[in-house]
Structure 1
Amino acid sequence: MPRRPGPMLRRTLLAAAALVAGFATAAPAQEAPWPSRPVTIMGGFPNGAGTDIYARRLADPLSRALGVPVVVDNRTGAGGNIGSDLVAKARPDGYTFYLGTAGTHAINAALYRTLPFDVIRDFTPVVLLGDVPNVLIVNPEKRPNLRSCQDVLAAARVRPQAVSYGSTGNGASTHLAGAQFATAARLDLLHVPFRGQPGAMGALLSGDTDLFFNQTGAAMGPIRQGQVRPLVVMTRERLAALPDVPTVGEACGLPPMDTSTWYGILGPANLPEPVVRRMNAEVNRIISTPEFRDWLINNQAITPPVAPNTPEQFRDTQRADVARWAEVVRQSGATVD
């Protein structure tokens, strides 16, 4: 007849069994498929900004694809840096992303003397969302004399700082597009920065500013409603959404110019590879559908990314733009303390 284990051995066996049971219980929680709860896409700019418009258009089909709610949460301020910082410090668990731009994750690296994060090291690029051009717009009611690019050039050359342009903030693409235009045309324009899209557009509509080198995503609504008049697109070729609007090269007698930036989704550093690949695949599938592509090209005047649009390609684009925009910022003289 087998001997019963002694008290010491029984305690050891019971402890081992409890440990095994604990591992068995914990394993399903550790291996739970992503996502199992709502996903947040943060933005750094106010409601109505181009990033906000894109994020809300993407959220519904992405929610259906992931099987969980996708929430858009805008944390504004400091040129998008407040939202960027929150995402940089978030847990890399796949539940917090950022709809960033070349402004937040390339331009700001040169514009701000100090940042609480590194735009490369502290983020995981997930997927590009498209190239976003700028369009020069005026208020036809308040500035009926500005009907063409040549009119702008003539008015600006009469007296330095006589013509003003608003922007969505110091160092934003709407500022740097105007600075590049002024440098190329040898103009002395008055830059008037605002905190985001609503203030800059409101100033144009009220007549407080003369020009706005706005991103197309936010400008297309006022253009279609007749509130503003597009004079030139800041790209090398005309846009499908604005086929009658000439380029700077065509209308201004200046060298061809392209001030386009990009939108993209990023997560915190060290985001798990399976999460990156799943998010990349689902977003790529959505934005490549005919319906979404038509919305991008013909409604927002945004150029969709080229396949395969991998996270690695996004990282290369971001690194190249950090260097590119650093030179533009240097030439513009723009700084933010």
Structure 2
Amino acid sequence: MLRRSLLALSIVLPALPALPALAQEAWPSRPITLMAGFPNGSGVDIYQRKLAEPLSRALGVPVVVDNRTGAGGNIGSDFVAKARPDGYTILLATAGTHAINATLYRRLPFDPLNDVSHIAMLGDVPNLLTTSIDHRPNFNSCADVLAAARARPGALNYASTGNGASTHLAGVQFAQAAGIDVVHVPYRGQPGAQLALLSGDVDFFFNQVGPALGAVQQGKTRGLAVTTPTRLSILPDVPTVAEACDLPGFSSTTWYGIVGPPGMPAPIVARLNAEILKILDAPEFQGWLVQSQGISPPTARTPEEFRAVHERDIASWRTVIQRSGATVD
């Protein structure tokens, strides 16, 4: 009898330590950090905070926003690339941080394509060519900007939210397409670049539509052209750069997306992808996206489709950067 009891215990006891481990596998069971590499008030920050609340409700745990700025978004990107792939640290990545920077920086502490788990695209992000109404009253159209730039090569300057940001390379593409010589002035984030425009320190700024819209509506800045192939429903009276500047085929848009550290478990990636797409598909969220930010909902819906877009973008932005000669280090 004793022998049979000891044998039964020898079978049961080794299995007991596995029970807590199985209980810990439920995800999520604690707060999730949604990180970004850009400061408060930037287009990334606006989207990040808008997404965090419904994502928190959907997952049943807090989604905490954390902005780790610097180096064109590389500090936050590198942090997430090296984080534990347990689904508790994710990043709002951009085409700037993970496609443009792949060429713009000669050395990066992470691989922009492979040191990520692709989770979900968040949308295509346009820019708006803006000028100050008070300080540049003679800039009433894109043609006026081009005429001034051609009359005084190298005299005009434009702001950006940092080297390699979409606001920088939209200006690069614009200068290349129009054959003009203008000076790039990088700032650390959207607020500084916008302030430079409003104070007259720079002549124009290809700001993202969401952060730019307030000053346009308040009559402080003038929106001259959007960088999309077609006009935006949020700004129906603002022409495209292609039509306003007589630059056929001009287009300069980037994307936002959610990524995590490399090696995230497939079930966690699938859950995050599904919950994020539900949020993006909700009429209220989609209305905010299109009508207040000018962002087009993503056409790439799966992690695999996201990776394919990412890979193509690295190659296409490489061409733009190499033609411009732009570099950071």
Any conservation in 2 of the 1:44–1:83 contact (CA below 8 Å)? yes
Residue 37 of structure 2 is aligned to residue 44 of structure 1: yes
Aligned residue in 2 for 1:293: 286
Q: Does 1:209 align with 2:202?
A: yes
Amino acid at match of 1:133: P
Aligned equivalent of 2:114 = 121
Match of 2:314 among 322, 328, 336: 322
Aligned-residue sequence identity (percent) comes to 60
Equivalents in 2 of 1:48, 1:251: separation in Å?
29
Larger radius of gyration: 1
Contact 2:90–2:259 (Cα < 8 Å) also in 1: yes
- Give the corresponding residue for 1:73: 66
State whether residues 96 and 165 of structure 2, in contact with CA within 8 Å, keep that contact through their aligned partners in structure 1: yes
- Which stretch of structure 1 is more off in the superposition, 262-271 or 169-178? 169-178
- The ranges of structure 1 where at least 4 consecutive aligned residues each deviate by more than 4 angstroms after the TM superposition are 12-17
Q: Which residue of 1 aligns with 2:94?
A: 101
Q: Match for residue 148 of structure 1?
A: 141
Report the AA paired with residue 316 of structure 1.
Answer: A
Distance in 2 separating the partners of 1:233 and 1:21: 62
Give the aligned partner of residue 154 of structure 2.
161
Give me the whole-angstrom Cα distance separating, in 2, the residues matched to 1:243 and 1:25.
58
- The residue matched to 1:231 in structure 2 has which SS? strand
> Aligned with 1:131: secondary structure?
strand
- Spell out the pairing of 1:224-235 with structure 2 (5 A cutoff): 224-235=217-228
Partner of 1:87: helix, strand, or coil?
A: helix
| 1:334 equivalent among 304, 322, 326 | 326
**Does the CA-based 8 Å contact 1:165-1:212 persist in structure 2?**
yes
Q: For 1:111, which of 76, 80, 104 is the aligned residue?
A: 104
The CA deviation string for residues 274-310 of structure 1, in whole angstroms up to 9 with x for no partner, is 1111101111001111111111111100001127x11
Change (3 A) 1:27 1:214: same
> What are the within-5 Å matches in structure 2 for residues 15-30 of structure 1?
17-29=12-24
1:187-234 Cα shifts (integer Å, max 9, x gaps): 100111111111111100111001001111221222222221100111
Q: Are 1:200 and 2:193 matched, yes or no?
A: yes
2:116–2:261: 8 Å Cα contact kept in structure 1? yes
Q: TM-score, normalised by structure 2?
A: 0.96
AA aligned opposite 1:166:
A
Residue 17 of structure 2 aligns to a residue in which SS?
A: helix
Q: Distance in 1 between matches of 2:320 and 2:61?
A: 41
How far apart, in 1, do the equivalents of 2:320 and 2:49 lie? 31
Contact 2:242/2:251, CA 8 A, preserved across alignment: no
Aligned length: 329
Partner SS for 1:274: helix
**Is 1:235–1:256's contact at 8 Å kept on the other side of the alignment?**
no
Separation (CA, whole Å) in 1 of partners of 2:217 and 2:271: 36
**Contact 1:132 1:217 survives alignment (8 Å):** no
Shift of 1:16: 5.2
CA RMSD of aligned residues (A): 1.6
Sort the Cα spacing of 1:196 and 1:20 in 2 relative to 1 into closer, same or farther, 3 A: same
5+ long unaligned stretches in structure 1: none
